[in-house]
């Protein structure tokens, strides 16, 4: 565990999101999902994610919307979500510790599970099987 502070400000959220997506962009297992769709759009994506995680972690109503449908039809499998979660939790642990950092890891886990479930259901329904 690092000897770091907890996530307490929007600046901390920016630091977490920036560090996480710097890793994701270079990641051989999941990077292509993001790089293929976000070429030239990374700044806008980060701005959305800052608001999203600000709302989730610091409970500030800053993000409104449903991000799940944006992930439909991307061929994302459970192992991709598992790896996303591993990178997310490692990044949190490298930068922060405390109650909100623990919330970040817990919420990452619950979101990965919920996203996968909804995407799997939508892809299954859309396949015509």
What pLDDT is stored for residue 10 in this prediction? Answer: 95
Q: Has residue 5 been placed in a domain?
A: no
Instruction: Look at residues 124, 129, 128, 92 and name the one whose alpha carbon lies nearest to residue 108.
Output: 92
Predicted model pTM? 0.83
Q: Has residue 52 been placed in a domain?
A: yes
Q: Has residue 33 been placed in a domain?
A: yes
Q: Which helix (H) or strand (E) holds 24?
A: helix 10-26
Q: Has residue 59 been placed in a domain?
A: yes
pLDDT of 93 strictly over 70:
yes
Q: Which tokens belong to 6? A: 């907890």
Q: Model confidence over 42-89: pLDDT tens digits? A: 888 889 899 999 999 998 887 666 665 555 566 778 898 899 999 999
Sign of the Cα torsion 19, 5, 102, 55 reads negative
Which of 32-36, 58-62, 96-100, 107-111 is modeled with the greatest confidence? 96-100
Q: Bigger pLDDT: 123 or 127?
A: 123
Q: Has residue 1 been placed in a domain?
A: no
> Residue 29: which CATH number?
1.10.490.10
- Write the DSSP assignment of 63-104 as a string of letters: --S--GGGGTTS---HHHHHHHHHHHHHHHHHH--SHHHHHH
Q: HSE (CB half, 13 Å, CA atoms) of 43?
A: 1
Q: Has residue 4 been placed in a domain?
A: no
Domain that holds residue 121: 10-126
Q: Has residue 58 been placed in a domain?
A: yes
Report the distance separating Cα 105 and Cα 65, nearest Å.
Answer: 21
Percentage of the chain exceeding pLDDT 90: 50
The count of domains in the chain is 1
């Amino acid at each position: 565990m690092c000897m770091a502070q907890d996530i307490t400000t929007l600046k901390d959220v920016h630091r977490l999101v920036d560090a996480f997506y710097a890793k994701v962009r270079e990641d051989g297992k999941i990077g292509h999902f993001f790089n293929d769709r976000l070429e030239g759009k990374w700044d806008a994506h980060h701005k959305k994610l800052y608001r999203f995680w600000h709302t989730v972690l610091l409970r500030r109503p800053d993000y409104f919307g449903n991000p799940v449908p944006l992930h439909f039809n991307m061929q994302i499998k459970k192992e991709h979500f598992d790896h996303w979660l591993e990178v997310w939790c490692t990044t949190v642990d490298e930068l922060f510790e405390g109650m909100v950092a623990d919330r970040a890891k817990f919420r990452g886990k619950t979101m990965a599970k919920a996203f996968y479930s909804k995407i799997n259901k939508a892809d299954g329904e859309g396949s015509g099987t």
